[in-house]
Structure 1
Amino acid sequence: MQQRFCITLLLLFTFLSGWTQTPNDSVFVQKKRFGRAAAELFVVQLLPWSYDKFITKADWAKLSIKSIGSNLNPKNWEWDDNSFKTNQFGHPYHGNLYYSTFRTNGYSFWQSAPAAVSGSFIWEVAAETNKFAPNDFINTSLGGIALGEMTYRLSRKIVNNRSRGAKRQAQEVFGLIVSPLNGVNRILNGEWGKVHGMVDTAQKLTAYINIGSRHFNIKTYQQNLRGREEIYLRLRLIYGEKFEESETPFEHFSTVMELGNGDSTYINNLQVSGALKTWPMQSAGDGRHLYTVTMNYDFIKNNAFQYGGQSFTFKLMSNWNEHSKIKFTSEIGSGIVALGAVQDKYLYYGEGRNYDYGVGIMMTAGGTINFNNLLEAEFNYKGSRFETVNGNPSSYILNTLAADVRGFLGKRFSLAAGVGQYTLNGFFKGFDNVAEVYPFARFSLGYKL
């Protein structure tokens, strides 16, 4: 199953490499269809509920007026005990479908965001007898918005409306996989397979794929465990121009996805960071400096470490010498973690709840230096401080650090090596404090699509 999934992703990004970029084109503005969007939002909720109600006969799908009334009362709300993968990936993905019902029917980012929020609220109140879960509501809403906008823009880039034949049909199918609602509405609008002069080239998309080996270790006060080598696949997407002023959300976003063969999840790293607004600070000489506010989604689950969260950051970005042979960029910022899930070695109950939920503050820093497109070094740091709002009484300090070097072999291929580590410090009441370090290394062959 995992091998088939990797092959699917490889084929997908192979089709991405065949785009034609035409500067004068722009994103096709769709007609707004409120009735259809509302109907699709209802269907997106009805289908999974019907499956659990009539196929699996789940007890929680047996709704009643009493259960709905109970869920409307904030005094009855309760943080749930679902597994990390369900809460930090499954719910945001479902929220992405809510968001997409309106986004793919002609509505803007801000006009579509309420669909993710309202869809999440309706599900928690009127689609299950389980108590309203604040963590599900937040993860589904915020994660759904970030994933929904990212997948919508990506799916619109996959399909080249000027393509024909088998290649065009493959693009349509992969676009539907990335954003199911966009694919469905292309069929309903008569766009599927139709050749016309409009193609989404308003923003450039650059994709990098790396295949190689990675290795995790675990170091604590009590033990030092050496992990094993595992094959991994890494995708990096860069959409739009990072150092351009923009009022439109997600005119620039970056996405990192990793898949590995040594864990229980198919995707063990998915991080999305989209600019909500970018405006200039100053331009001097060959340098350019801008402020940006980003919306972020993080899902990290490998055989050593797990973290998931929704956050917002304010950054200062600098492109110091963009026209030089030696290019240097940097960014530094801080922000808030609206809700973060941090692993807790002392907690395990229910479906597999082994993490605490917390809110907090964060700092980020990063930079790249490129030597005439022959050699590139990249550094990224993110540090967070959490106070637990649900779980064991505790607080956490989480640091993530990664450094990568890439040597370019022509315009497409590269060799990459990287090191880094996750560091987790937990401070508990009633338990011993925790200090854990998860160093990692990775080596890969890269290809620019």
Structure 2
Amino acid sequence: MNNSCVPSFLRAMAALLCFATGVCAAQTAPPETKDDTPPAPGYTVPALEIFGFDFLLNRYNHRFSGVTDYDVSLDSIRRNLHSSWVVDADPFKVNQLGHPYQGSMYHGFGRSAGLDFWPAMGLTFVGSAGWEIAGEQTRPSRNDQVASGIGGSFLGEALYRMANLLLEHGGGVSPFWRETGAAIISPSNGFNRLVYGKNLGAIFDSRQAPYYSRLQVGAMGTAQNRSGLSSLLHRNELQANFALDYGMPGKPGYQYRRPFDYFAFEATATTAGNFESVLTRGLLAGRDYEVGKDYRGVWGAYGTYDYVSPQTFRISTTAVSLGTTGEWRASDRIAVQGTVLAGVGYAAVGALNGVAEDYHYGVSPQALAALRIIHGDSYSFDLTGREYFVNKAQSGPGGHDNIVRVDAAFTARVKGPHAVTFKYLWNRRDATSTALGSRTQTRGTFGIFYTLLGHDGFGRADWR
């Protein structure tokens, strides 16, 4: 990177940082005015964009991947159109992280062209099927169709809304650097805004959604480890974590009329392997409710995409759940927030040994319980538990996996938006196979983080 590029890079990162934290809101650059007359929705432009994106991705992979999977021909397309769908064995990150991100690009093209969530999701599903048939010469795979066509929309909607939240609120930086930051978050939305301006890619109106955001940077060390079949382990690692809760219940006048009017997003990058986790859950359909004068909540059907890789094993699921999210105002200073979900999805799970791919697919009943206790503007305590039960009888030898993940964190404000967080993360996998018997993998890590809080502090809703 030459010297002239450094200020550009820093300004783009500043735009993302200001969006994440809200601490630049006092600067002078105003946010762009939202267009009250969004573009008329249409399928032609996003469909052509998806076709062009897939063509370029195929050509890139054909040139640089070193494999013959992308040697597509009319014969391979005809064969795939008439063949049965299979479960493929591509690398785990390709199938469970790359394909959902590819699907998020499809979804972003549709949303920024004016399509609502469900039509954009339908276009994403069709786009994924088109890639499976004509983007690769291998037989189309149903696991990729779930990851791209469904998980891609759950991930893509969160990215699309976060990009538009940056554009809407401004972040205190110039329009150019807001555009740059938003394009990094959702490249397909950024493409449409660059090429078509406000004719496509108009700013999505959040309707003043309340949101809580935080950015953490720190170090984690291994406190407990039972690696099982895994052979590689970085005992100490640096991590960066970003989390956003969007549309938290309780704000007067805020309504849940559109999918993902409430969602939670969290991603953790690590020096031990790129991404330790990417976690998204959003309300697909539901309504808000009140219990007395001290509790506000929403309930309904949620769509979730989870990717978890704590070095020793990994799991990824796309699921639909029923549940609720709410806040109880215990006193003037104490607020208790929580989410409870239970549902079923399609999951990939396996050991991470650094030598060969070892994973399988199955139907996955799963549950989540999240709790946050907020004490004024002083501190918060977060506790989240997830459990996945994966039946692998349909892919390989019979058996099942039971995975539990518990994340506990205590955050104390130091001054202004600056805080310190102590975190403990525990993951356990119990795998049973008719061929290999029972195996257990456990890893616990403890860390300390510098935390930059958003403009909304610890995220207590303003309704009392």
Superposition TM-score, scaled by structure 1 size: 0.86
1:132 partner SS: coil
Q: Would the aligned equivalents of 1:25 and 1:202 in 2 still touch at CA under 8 Å? A: no
Deviations 1:272-305 (A, max 9, x none): 1111123245421312343232111111224333
Deviation, 1:25, is: 7.0
Q: Would the aligned equivalents of 2:76 and 2:137 in 1 still touch at CA under 8 Å? A: yes
CA change 1:7–1:437 in 2 (3 A) is: farther
2:425 is matched with which residue?
420
Give the alignment partner of residue 197 of structure 2, picking from 175, 190, 194: 190
1:314 is matched with which residue?
322
In the alignment, the residues of structure 1 paired with residue 181 and residue 354 of structure 2 have an alpha-carbon distance, to the nearest angstrom, of 40
Alignment of 1:139 with 2:150, yes or no, is no
CA change 1:294–1:7 in 2 (3 A) is: farther
CA change 1:199–1:161 in 2 (3 A) is: farther
CA change 1:189–1:7 in 2 (3 A) is: closer
In the alignment, the residues of structure 1 paired with residue 445 and residue 103 of structure 2 have an alpha-carbon distance, to the nearest angstrom, of 32
Deviation, 1:377, is: 1.0
Alignment of 1:429 with 2:437, yes or no, is no
2:458 is matched with which residue?
none
Moved more, 299-308 or 27-36: 27-36
2:266 is matched with which residue?
256
1:340 is matched with which residue?
347
1:119 is matched with which residue?
127
Deviation, 1:72, is: 2.5
1:66 is matched with which residue?
75
Deviations 1:311-359 (A, max 9, x none): 122113342216621111233231112x1111147997xxx43111111
In the alignment, the residues of structure 2 paired with residue 36 and residue 249 of structure 1 have an alpha-carbon distance, to the nearest angstrom, of 23
1:358 is matched with which residue?
362
2:51 is matched with which residue?
42
**Identity, % of aligned positions:** 19
CA change 1:407–1:132 in 2 (3 A) is: same
Q: Where do 1:156-305 residues align within 5 Å?
A: 156-160=164-168, 167-191=174-198, 202-216=208-222, 217-219=224-226, 228-243=235-250, 245-263=255-273, 265=274, 267-305=275-313
1:29 is matched with which residue?
38
Deviations 1:251-285 (A, max 9, x none): 1211111111123x2x2211111111232454213
1:87 is matched with which residue?
95
Amino acid corresponding to residue 329 of structure 2 in structure 1: N
Greater relative contact order, per chain length (Cα 8 Å cut-off, separation 6+) = 2
Amino acid corresponding to residue 354 of structure 1 in structure 2: D
Deviation, 1:58, is: 5.1
Deviation, 1:43, is: 0.7
1:393 is matched with which residue?
398
Superposition TM-score, scaled by structure 2 size: 0.84
1:441 is matched with which residue?
446
In the alignment, the residues of structure 2 paired with residue 82 and residue 39 of structure 1 have an alpha-carbon distance, to the nearest angstrom, of 27
Deviations 1:393-438 (A, max 9, x none): 3211111111111112244111111213111111111212112211
1:107 partner SS: coil
Q: Would the aligned equivalents of 2:229 and 2:351 in 1 still touch at CA under 8 Å? A: no
Q: Would the aligned equivalents of 2:285 and 2:301 in 1 still touch at CA under 8 Å? A: yes
Deviation, 1:231, is: 1.6
Moved more, 414-423 or 244-253: 244-253
Deviation, 1:11, is: 3.0
Q: Would the aligned equivalents of 1:68 and 1:129 in 2 still touch at CA under 8 Å? A: yes
Deviation, 1:65, is: 3.8
Alignment of 1:11 with 2:2, yes or no, is no
Superposed CA RMSD in Å reads: 3.4
Deviation, 1:233, is: 1.0
Q: Would the aligned equivalents of 2:111 and 2:120 in 1 still touch at CA under 8 Å? A: yes
In the alignment, the residues of structure 2 paired with residue 237 and residue 198 of structure 1 have an alpha-carbon distance, to the nearest angstrom, of 17
Q: Would the aligned equivalents of 1:25 and 1:200 in 2 still touch at CA under 8 Å? A: no
CA change 1:9–1:162 in 2 (3 A) is: closer
Deviations 1:143-183 (A, max 9, x none): 2101211111111122258799x722111112112112211
1:129 partner SS: coil
Alignment of 1:148 with 2:156, yes or no, is yes
1:60 partner SS: coil
Deviation, 1:198, is: 9.7
In the alignment, the residues of structure 1 paired with residue 94 and residue 231 of structure 2 have an alpha-carbon distance, to the nearest angstrom, of 30
CA change 1:392–1:285 in 2 (3 A) is: same
Give the alignment partner of residue 369 of structure 1, picking from 366, 373, 377: 373
Structure 1 unaligned segments of length 5 or more: list them.
none
